[in-house]
Amino acid sequence: METIGKDRAYVEGIKKLHELISRKYSNGGWLPPGRQMCKKFGISHLTYRKALQRLTQEGATVSFPRKGHYVNPVHLRTRKIGMVIRDGEEFPFIDGASMIFAAAEYLEQENFLIQQIQASPINTLFRKTLSHAGCGLLWFYPSDSVWPVIEKIHNGINKGVLSGDENLQGGNKNIPVLVVDLFDPLNPDGMNRDGVPCVRMDLHHLGAERANFLLERGHKNIAYIGNYWFAEYTGFTKILKDSGVLFSPASCINDISEITVKLPKMISSKKITAIVSEGSEVRLDKVFQVLSAIPEDKQPELLLRYNRSLKPLYQKYPNVKPAMAGRTDIAKIGKAAGKLLAGHLNNGTPLSSISVPAFSITQTREEGEEE
C-alpha cells in the first residue's frame, strides 16, 4: 500500500506540473522554489524532484544547478503521442505495420514523438501515459476486453481506470484518445463502440466496390464465402438486389468445414459464375481446393481480398485460373488517424469518428506473384 501511495503522489505531481506549465508558462519562465511547489502540490520534496526529473527528460523543463528549473517555451517542448497496440500488453509481432508506421510518420512530420505504451494490468495504462508525458493516445485495434478502459480514459473518468488511484482526480482533458481499427463499431458478437472517436476502414465503400465490379463484369449468379451479415452490412447485398441479382443467405457459406461439400453443389445447381471469398488462409485454401477440381474454362471467377497466403496458394493450385483480388491500403487509415489527432492537438479540431475509403480491386494473379 505504501508503494501505491508513493506512486500515486508521483503521478499526481507530474499531472499538476503539466497543468501548471500548460496554464502559465506558454512563453517559458522559471518555476518557483521547490519548497514552495511542494507545499502548493502537497507532496514531498523527493516526489517533486522525481516529477521534475521526468519533465526534464521529456524536454519540458531545463535544470540549472543552484538556479532552479526553467520551463521551455511551448515551441521548444517535446510533445509525445502514446501509441498502444491491441491490448496494451506485450505481443510477439506488429500486425498492420504499414498502418501504424503511416500514423507515426505523419505525427513525426508534425513534430510529435512516439512513445509505445505497454501496461499490465491494463488499468495502469493511463498512469503510464501520464508518467511518459503523453499528450495524446493512439490505440490500434483494441479488443472488446479493453474497451471499458478506453471509454473511461476518453470520458475523463479516472476512478476504476487507474489501479489503486481512486483518489487521483481531475480527469484527463489533456490526454485525448483516438482508436484506429479496421472494423466497424457494431458487429454481431461485439459491443457498440460509437462512444469513442475512431478511424476505420470504410466497409460500405468495400461492399460497393465489390458489388459494382461484379455487375460490370455481367455476373448474376454469385456465391459468397463469408458471413451474410457482413455482406448485408457493407451494402454489398443491397446493390446486387437493386440490380436484379438474386442474393440471399442461401448464397453464402460461412462455416469453413462446409466449403468443400457445399460449394461444388452450389456451383453446379445455381450455375455460379463468380465467387466472393473473405479472409482467412484456411478458408481460401478450401475455395482453391474446390476450384482446382473444375476445368479451368468452367471455373467461376474468383474475387477475394489479398492476403499473404495467395502466392503459396497459386503455387499449390496452378490450374486455378487468375483471380481478381481487392487490396486494402491500410496506410491510408493510419495517415488519416495521424492527421486527425495532430489537428486536434495543434489546432483544437474536434476528434470525431471517420471512415476511410481504402479498398480497391486492382490485383490479378500475375501481379500477386511479383510481390
Q: Which residues of the chain have pLDDT under 70?
A: 1-7, 91-92, 131, 157-174, 183-192, 363-371
34: helix, coil or strand?
A: helix
pLDDT attached to residue 166:
38
pLDDT attached to residue 208:
97
Single-letter amino acid code for the residue at 228: Y
- Burial label, 164 (beta-carbon count in 10 A; 0-12, 13-18, 19+): middle
Instruction: Write down the residue that cell numbers 503511416 correspond to.
Output: 102
- Gap between the Cα atoms of 201 and 334, Å rounded: 10
Cα torsion 89, 86, 60, 161: sign: negative
Which residues have C-beta within 8 Å of that of residue 259, sequence separation ≥ 6?
225, 253, 283, 286, 287, 290
What kind and span of H or E run contains 140?
strand 134-140
What cell numbers appear for 141 in the block?
Answer: 485495434
Instruction: Write down the residue that cell numbers 448464397 correspond to.
Output: 251
pLDDT attached to residue 165:
41
pLDDT attached to residue 184:
60
- Gap between the Cα atoms of 118 and 105, Å rounded: 20
